Amino acid sequence: MLITEILARNRRMFGPDTALIERNPQARSRRAITWTEFDQVSNRAATALLACGVQKGDKVVQLMVNCLEWLPVYFGILRTGAWAAPLNFRFAAGDILLCSQIAEAKAFIFGPEFIQRVRDIKTGLDATVRIFVFTGPRETCPEFAVPLDAFLATGKDEDPGVPLFLEDPAALYFTSGTTGTPKPTLLTHRNLEHACYLENRHHNQTREDCFLCIPPLYHTGAKMHWFGNFIVGAKSVLLIGTDPEGILEAVSEEGVTVVWLLVPWALDILFAIESGEVKIKNYKLGQWRLMHIGARPVPPSLIREWKKVFPRHQYDTNYGLAESTGPGCVHLGLENGHKAGAIGRPGFDWEYKIVNGDGAPAPPGEPGELMVKGPGVMRAYYKNPEATAQVLKDGWLATGDVARVDEDGFIFLVDRKKDVVIVGGENVYPVEIEHFLQAHPKIQDVAVIGIPSQRLREIPAAVVKVKEGHALTREELEEFCQNLPRYKRPRRFFFGDVPGNPTGKIEKPNLRKMYGGESGIV
């Protein structure tokens, strides 16, 4: 069933019930819409876009931070038969222009945070964009755009009736770019449909569940996890901000049962509780049943500490990428908490293999590239057949991640191929060192990178974020690392923040730029 049809069904069956809640703790605001209102806005957006000349197969750029309007607008775009093209809200003006030109955008929908960036590139967009729609307050709408409320008023609350099929293209998701220039990933309506069934199959959401969505909706991860609630008509909360107190307040006050966290946010929550900044006795958390996590390898020490604080929680970790329609092509499973550290087994209707550099199966237990195959594999990288051919091979998606499988059939992510550090001819996988260091009681977060070495080609270096209120020295870290094999021990330690993108992935290219000049002769 098309996800646009699922929305229409939710209106018919659960119309007066709450569909989405937006909470902004900093602004002390709360807004909500019902399934009827959700569907109405989507219909009005769709019919208004069609009236402006947007047709099936066109592309509509969506440049918005998380807000109550985000998902209804997205579904409106899909109902026209056009492709939704959500953009990373961190993109600079030049990146926004590049992605919009690749998409040949016919309409451009943007929020108040982006007025200046859009103004700076507007002349470069005028060749294709027929209308700019502004989602912020009417009084701040720039002269070249139409306010969203006025735009929706020109539409109708009726399905536009554009014929849509599961194999039709639906959306362009630009990859996060942690290993290079973002590429436009073309997903179909079948990809999106499967993500609904996949997420619900993995986490067993019912109408009684309430999902807390914190990550940015422009990314497949947040939206595809929300799909598990969406497909059963259960409500969800969009939280603006990642402060531990705001997260726990939302869980407590909205009756949240399922939360998907990124590693830094989970670490922040644990530290806030450990330091006494947050007292969990002040919150109603008994209904919270599941904490699942993903976007980067999860340190086993994090899960051990989490289970001490929240012993009744179910736990799952999810692995995926934009090219697999987000998370879930591999997942741990609610019953496999004893395997914390693994990314798990193939998700519902997925299969995998691990291959060596020649494409042959890697020996059991040996690391190799993880490849996956299933209904979520993207159609292609749009307008990039060369890049597509590099990652799609006979229906298999090459993930670019190095993994190994243990004797029980659980997959462990070793590292990104591009992040492997070659120390005197030995492959060193930063994730293994990160997990080791994360167990140190004074470390809040850590990233390991390779920096140049005159003698060994590269050496591992650790960028360490120390917990607030604690002091940590290089000598302490060197002593702690004595239990690592010598070639895996970091030869340099840097103290500072560990930068992550909005989807939780560590920005290692930026770290290599910052610290890559710190070479040595070791």
Q: Is 0.95 surpassed by the pTM of this model?
A: no
Residue 320 token pair: 């995926």
Could you tell me the CA-to-CA distances from 364 to 70, 360, 368, 404, 415 in Å, in that order?
45, 12, 10, 8, 17
Average pLDDT for 431-438: 85
Max Cα-Cα span within the chain: 69
Q: Are strands 396-405 and 392-393 parallel, antiparallel or unpaired?
A: antiparallel
Phi and psi, residue 144, nearest 5°: -90, 0
User: What does the domain layout of the chain look like in residue ranges?
Assistant: 3-18+31-194, 420-515
145-159, 184-198, 332-346, range with the lowest pLDDT: 332-346
Q: Are strands 146-147 and 131-134 parallel, antiparallel or unpaired?
A: parallel
Grouping H, G, I as helix, E, B as strand and the rest as coil, residue 284 is coil
Looking at domain 420-515, its CATH superfamily turns out to be ANL, C-terminal domain (3.30.300.30)
For 147-180, the pLDDT digits (tens) are: 999 999 999 999 999 999 999 999 999 985 544 5
Cα(377)–Cα(203) distance, integer angstroms: 21
Q: Given this model, what pLDDT does residue 178 score?
A: 45
Q: What is the CA radius of gyration of the chain?
A: 23
- Say whether pLDDT at 352 is over 70: yes
226-235, 315-324, 497-506, range with the lowest pLDDT: 497-506
Q: Given this model, what pLDDT does residue 179 score?
A: 45
For residue 440, the 8-state DSSP code is: S
For 37-86, the pLDDT digits (tens) are: 999 999 999 999 999 999 999 999 999 999 999 999 999 999 999 999 99
Tokens 């070791």 belong to which residue? 522
Mean pLDDT rounded to a whole number for the chain: 91
Cα(71)–Cα(256) distance, integer angstroms: 19
Q: Given this model, what pLDDT does residue 522 score?
A: 47
Question: Contact at 8 Å (CB) between 350 and 370?
Answer: no
Q: Matching CATH topology for 3-18+31-194 and 420-515?
A: no
Q: Given this model, what pLDDT does residue 315 score?
A: 94
What CATH number is given for 3-18+31-194 in this structure?
Answer: 3.40.50.12780
